[in-house]
Amino acid sequence: MSYEETLDYLYNKLPMFSRIGEAAIKKDLTNTIALCEFLGNPQTKFKTIHIAGTNGKGSVAHMLASVLQEAGYKTGLYTSPHLKDFRERIKINGKPCKEKFVIKFTEKIKPQIEIIQPSFFEITVAMAFDYFAKKKVDIAIIETGLGGRLDSTNVITPVLSVITNISYDHQYLLGNTLAEIAAEKAGIIKANTPVVIGRKNEETDAVFIQKAKQENATLTFAEDLVKEVKTVNTPNFLIVDANVNAKHQNICCDLHSSYQTENIKTVLATLSLLEQHTLFKIKDKALQLGFSNIKKNTQLQGRWQLLEKHPRVIADVGHNEDGIHKIKEQLELEKFEKLHIIFGAVKDKDIDKILALLPKDAIYYFTEPQLPRKLEVEILQEKAKLHQLHGTIYHHPKDALGVAKSNASENDLILVTGSFFVVGEVL
């Protein structure tokens, strides 16, 4: 098979959450365990950091990978979903896995696919573990796909676990209260393994404390270790001063939206604990370079990403209530004449809560991702009207962007948001 034929097989043969939603979710780890056993349990052959959370886990994963890479460690990075190319999910030192590897792995695992009937995500997790083991990484940053307790990635024994924050998303799978969602995310907390919690919340703190006590895991709330973070937003960097130690002063982070402040705090706490509890050492220069070269080192996209300058076109993958709230805060710091928003979503989001947060004085271009799980743009437009948001329908995000660019003056701002998949199609 060619690379294109291999991807076609994986996308169409295997249930894929990003395309069909809940039907692709397997309710236990049986398939992943079986796949890993067939491969010789590659997940046991390298060190890992495991990251869960509602928002920010992708940014945190890429920040950590960048710093560890600058510190001289061969660093694997597994994240999802991808925006443009499937191989974005599996990288070492910022370089995607080879097309030949994807082809050979798929051919090798095909008989097991027929026997086990795994999901797309279960196969990609096994593929990542196999790749990292073969390439003998020093450490791999592993981001959960959904939840934590039953997530396919939760077969690893990490040196450290991170839970970024808890907010409402995927309630139909994870629970209807923050405490219930936190209990699912807390499933990545392992015995005698330190864990960092990125955000304190009176509804969820007790859940994490209880689980950590049960597992005899040292628990650290990031804001207890990094008590104060001051940031200055510039066009190219977020300048950060934190109170951990001297090397956390005057950090230039190239993910320069203000909403990254919480993620930076989580990463600084994680790096401090990583040095305390493991053999990993991170010099001042590595930390500084790691933060200033995140996009270059890891190829991260879709986080307040500047696509064009005149007018400015910015893409952000914010796709739930908390994510859109952060975007709204960032918009308040931006200068522009008119705001144009290209917005599309998938149908399993709490769309009314998201729409209620969006600015009412923007010009809207409603669109839809090109997958079965999409929220149909006609339904989106009608729901938006109930929140005094008015705009035109475009069935493809690229068409919406083309019209927005023709309508906008050079001092306007065009924002593409609402879904990973809308951003991916624009990219």
| Tokens 């450290």, residue located | 160
Condensed to tens digits (0 to 9), the pLDDT of residues 58-68 reads 999 999 999 99
The count of residues in the chain is 427
What sign for the dihedral angle of Cα 270, 275, 281, 282?
A: positive
Residue 378 near residue 350 (C-beta atoms within 8 A): no
How many Cα atoms occupy the beta-carbon half-sphere of 190 within 13 Å?
A: 18
Q: How far is CA 359 from the centre of its chain?
A: 24
pLDDT given for residue 21 in this prediction: 54
pLDDT given for residue 168 in this prediction: 79
pLDDT given for residue 14 in this prediction: 86
The CA–CA distances, whole Å, from 245 to 4, 64, 241, 278 equal 49, 18, 10, 19
Q: Is the confidence at residue 232, as pLDDT, over 80?
A: no
Condensed to tens digits (0 to 9), the pLDDT of residues 264-275 reads 999 999 999 999
Q: Is the confidence at residue 25, as pLDDT, over 90?
A: no
Instruction: Count the neighbouring beta carbons within 10 Å of the beta carbon of residue 293.
Output: 18
Structure tokens at 352: 């009314």
Q: Is the confidence at residue 250, as pLDDT, over 80?
A: no
215 versus 228: the higher-pLDDT residue is: 215
Residue 143 near residue 57 (C-beta atoms within 8 A): yes
Q: Is the confidence at residue 169, as pLDDT, over 80?
A: no
Rounded average pLDDT over 83-101: 97
Structure tokens at 25: 């979710």
Instruction: Please tell me whether residue 216 adopts helix, strand or coil conformation.
Output: coil
Domain 305-426 has CATH 3.40.50.150: no
Condensed to tens digits (0 to 9), the pLDDT of residues 272-307 reads 999 988 879 999 899 999 999 999 999 999 999 999
Q: Is the confidence at residue 16, as pLDDT, over 70?
A: no
Rounded average pLDDT over 414-426: 96
Provide the terminal-to-terminal Cα distance of the chain, rounded to the nearest Å: 27
Give the full edge-to-edge strand order of the sheet including 339-343.
305-309, 312-315, 413-417, 339-343, 363-366, 391-393
Rounded average pLDDT over 351-365: 96
Condensed to tens digits (0 to 9), the pLDDT of residues 181-199 reads 999 999 999 999 999 999 9
**Full DSSP string of 314-343:** EE----SHHHHHHHHHHHTT---S-EEEEE
What is the average pLDDT value for the chain, to the nearest integer?
A: 92
Reported as a pLDDT band with limits 50, 70 and 90, residue 15 is confident
Instruction: Count the neighbouring beta carbons within 10 Å of the beta carbon of residue 23.
Output: 11
pLDDT given for residue 245 in this prediction: 56
Nearest Cα to 59, choosing from 224, 260, 198, 229? 260
Q: What percent of the chain has pLDDT over 90?
A: 80
Q: What percent of the chain has pLDDT over 70?
A: 94
Rounded average pLDDT over 44-66: 96
Rounded average pLDDT over 228-233: 73
Q: Is the confidence at residue 355, as pLDDT, over 70?
A: yes
pLDDT given for residue 19 in this prediction: 52
Domain extents in the chain:
3-226, 305-426
- Give the class (CATH, top level) of 3-226: alpha beta
Residues 83 and 343: their CA atoms lie apart, in Å, by 16
Q: Is the confidence at residue 235, as pLDDT, over 80?
A: no
Residue 340 near residue 408 (C-beta atoms within 8 A): yes
Q: Is the confidence at residue 230, as pLDDT, over 90?
A: no
Condensed to tens digits (0 to 9), the pLDDT of residues 300-351 reads 999 999 999 999 999 999 989 999 999 999 999 999 999 999 999 998 889 9
pLDDT given for residue 26 in this prediction: 66
Condensed to tens digits (0 to 9), the pLDDT of residues 100-117 reads 999 999 999 999 999 999
Q: Is the confidence at residue 53, as pLDDT, over 70?
A: yes
Reported as a pLDDT band with limits 50, 70 and 90, residue 48 is very high
Single-letter amino acid code for the residue at 202: E
